[in-house]
Structure 1
Amino acid sequence: MKPARGPSRRRADGRLRLAVLSRNKKLYSTRRLVEAAKQRGHAVKVLDTLRCQLVLARDAPRVFYRGAEVGRIDVVIPRIGASITGYGLSVVNQFDMMGVPTLNNSVPIARSRDKLRALQLLSRFGIDIPRTVMCRYREEVPLAVEQVGGLPCIMKLIQGTQGVGVLLASTMTEVEGMLDTLWHLGQEILIQELIAESRGKDVRALVIGDRVVAAMRRTAREGEFRSNIHRGGEGQAIELPPAYAEAAVKAARVIGLEVAGVDMLESKEGPKIMEVNSSPGFEGLEQVTGQDIAGLYVEHAVELARAHAAGWSKARLI
């Protein structure tokens, strides 16, 4: 059996070839990653995820882009939008099959996109989360609301991002009406505890490798309970207490992500993990912290590529 092709050998000058999977090269995070890679002397190209054609044959997975076979790549940085999760996971997995390291591979990305699956894993490994219930029948709703601490409560789509599909219900009529509508549309919904003391605020920590490299507290604009920057929230740079930093790193490890945006609520009991994002935007973090987040992102990708190449070369000698 012919082995799958391994990663390309490093150039003598140390330059690596990076690929960023992104639908739009003008997006802030994509543009910054390209700038950071070039500043460090690496070659980088942006591949529109949906334009990647996947070719499969016996022991010979290949990727074509706009009609031409993709050349040798040392590491892939996925920036997979929620709307193309399925195809994006297939593209990431194809590069993995070709022996190209990816900064977040397909399995943990899939885990992070399914909010229930992610919460199940976090709960299993002893990470504190808001109380959460999933049910499917109307007669079960009153008990579900009681199990999360009563009203008001939060309702979330299992798959959603940037605050989309997150609703606040203050009465049982609202809960039942929202559920009826969303169930009719074929959506699965989580009912979740509202952490009253953190209402309108949360903490975003960016984990790269085994440490938190930046963090900010996000505060919702007036009249809005969702604190996402994309929904008008404001960010303030903060130094995370050790308990919060440890929780963020552990959450990323449990999901299996090399890079993750971990969203936490500040409760009376300490950090409660809300969500682990596999393609975190970092425009807000760069603005409020003044840090070169894109550079840290690229440097970690380069470290991963070099470690992978060294391991593959060693395997070839055995």
Structure 2
Amino acid sequence: MNIAILSRDAKLYSTKRLKQAGEDRGHKVEVIDHMKCVLFIEKKNPMVLYNGKRLDYFDAIIPRIGASVTFYGAAVVRQFEMMKVFTAVESQALIRSRDKLRSLQILSRAGLGLPKTIFMDYSRDTEGVIEAVGGAPVVIKLLEGTQGLGVVLAESKKVAKSVIEAFHGIHARIIVQEFIKEAKGADIRAFVVNGEVVGAMRRQAKEGEFRSNLHRGGSAKVVKLDRHEKHAAIIAAKKMGLGVAGVDMLPSARGPLILEVNSSPGLEGIEGATKIDIAGKIYQFIEKNAKKNKIQKDKVNA
């Protein structure tokens, strides 16, 4: 098959790993910078142009869209969908996953465990907000933050009030969440592909840090999920509409609590910790579904 990886940097580990894994399976794989794509829109004739070339020969795409370019990246994915090209991550699921508030609302409606969370429109009742999530310490997050950036642990009510007021002062939208003490600076990343957990790791924050993200210096080791954690990860990915997802959750006294569902999860940490060919699992998902997609496309065009 002809497969495109939508990525701005061909040198990134996940991009290189996916390209090599695809070629090892006999596919022709190209890395396409989605920000350089031009979308041609015409009645019944949508097209993607790249460096003057028509990208009308791909059987499938693997979106690796950065959070800062979600709007245009999702538009490119949507254009390929209009061209009946199979995508490992659908455009609407990508947009949904990048909206922290909407994601939490979807997961809450699904009955999944979540940390107590408050979202408000620049409310002056900061003390009431802090108490509503169980009091200090609290975690304060920018709605647009990624990879642990824009996340603050406020260890006292006074600090929490100052941080909330500072964010409001620059008109930044935030959420305030309870701090789960029993997690002890660790969280779990479950990698879900096509409705199945294909690997999981426990990420531990470095000393003096509460964010366990590997980009923030955290460490990772393989972990076996219990049935509650596995169920939560699968349902979270399903409700977000993601065929490929990294589901982050905290262990707690009341069961797993979902933090986030990532639509472009990195491969380096999970493959390094689990020694599982996660990239290969993604291609198995693509191979199975792209063939079905091609059959349906051929029937329509017949």
Q: Per the alignment, in what secondary structure is the counterpart of residue 125 of structure 2? A: helix
Aligned to 2:167: 182
Cα displacement (A) at 1:142:
1.2
Aligned to 1:11: none
Aligned to 2:77: 92
Aligned to 1:199: 184
Amino acid at match of 2:200: A
Rounded to whole Å, the distance in 1 between the matches of 2:301 and 2:35 is 33
Aligned to 1:5: none
Counterpart contact for 1:135–1:141, Cα < 8 Å: no
- Are 2:151 and 1:151 aligned? no
Alignment of 1:24-103 (within 5 A): 24-103=9-88
Amino acid at match of 1:174: V
What TM-score comes out, normalization by structure 2 length?
Answer: 0.97
Give aligned-pair identity as a percent: 46
Rounded to whole Å, the distance in 2 between the matches of 1:116 and 1:250 is 18
Aligned to 1:260: 245
CA deviations over 1:101-136 (Å, ceiling 9, x no partner)? 111111111111011100000001101111100112
Rounded to whole Å, the distance in 2 between the matches of 1:256 and 1:137 is 31
CA deviations over 1:74-125 (Å, ceiling 9, x no partner)? 0010000011111101111111111111111111111110111000000011
Query: Structure 2 vs 1, CA of residues 58 and 312 (structure 1 numbering), >3 Å: closer, same or farther?
Result: closer
Counterpart contact for 1:138–1:176, Cα < 8 Å: no
Cα displacement (A) at 1:138:
4.3
Cα displacement (A) at 1:220:
0.4
- Are 2:286 and 1:287 aligned? no
- Are 2:231 and 1:246 aligned? yes
Q: Per the alignment, in what secondary structure is the counterpart of residue 41 of structure 1? A: coil
Q: Per the alignment, in what secondary structure is the counterpart of residue 54 of structure 1? A: strand
Rounded to whole Å, the distance in 1 between the matches of 2:261 and 2:284 is 21
Number of equivalent positions: 302
Amino acid at match of 1:276: V
Q: Which runs of 5+ in 2 are unaligned?
A: none
Amino acid at match of 1:17: N
Rounded to whole Å, the distance in 2 between the matches of 1:137 and 1:84 is 26
CA deviations over 1:247-268 (Å, ceiling 9, x no partner)? 0000000010000000010001
Choose 199-208 or 290-299, whichever is displaced more: 290-299
Q: Per the alignment, in what secondary structure is the counterpart of residue 248 of structure 1? A: helix
Amino acid at match of 1:169: A
Cα displacement (A) at 1:173:
2.6
Alignment of 1:199-278 (within 5 A): 199-278=184-263
What TM-score comes out, normalization by structure 1 length?
Answer: 0.92
Counterpart contact for 2:203–2:213, Cα < 8 Å: yes
Rounded to whole Å, the distance in 2 between the matches of 1:185 and 1:294 is 41
Q: Which of the residues 152, 164, 168 maps onto 2:153? A: 168
Q: Which runs of 5+ in 1 are unaligned?
A: 1-15
Q: Per the alignment, in what secondary structure is the counterpart of residue 269 of structure 1? A: coil
Amino acid at match of 2:293: H
Amino acid at match of 2:276: Q
Rounded to whole Å, the distance in 1 between the matches of 2:259 and 2:102 is 12
Cα displacement (A) at 1:316:
5.1
Counterpart contact for 2:127–2:161, Cα < 8 Å: no
Rounded to whole Å, the distance in 2 between the matches of 1:241 and 1:172 is 35
Alignment of 1:5-20 (within 5 A): 16-20=1-5
- Are 2:108 and 1:129 aligned? no
Cα displacement (A) at 1:36:
0.5
Choose 52-61 or 125-134, whichever is displaced more: 52-61
Counterpart contact for 2:136–2:160, Cα < 8 Å: no
Rounded to whole Å, the distance in 1 between the matches of 2:44 and 2:117 is 43
Cα displacement (A) at 1:171:
2.1
Rounded to whole Å, the distance in 2 between the matches of 1:174 and 1:282 is 36
Aligned to 2:286: 301
Rounded to whole Å, the distance in 1 between the matches of 2:135 and 2:166 is 21
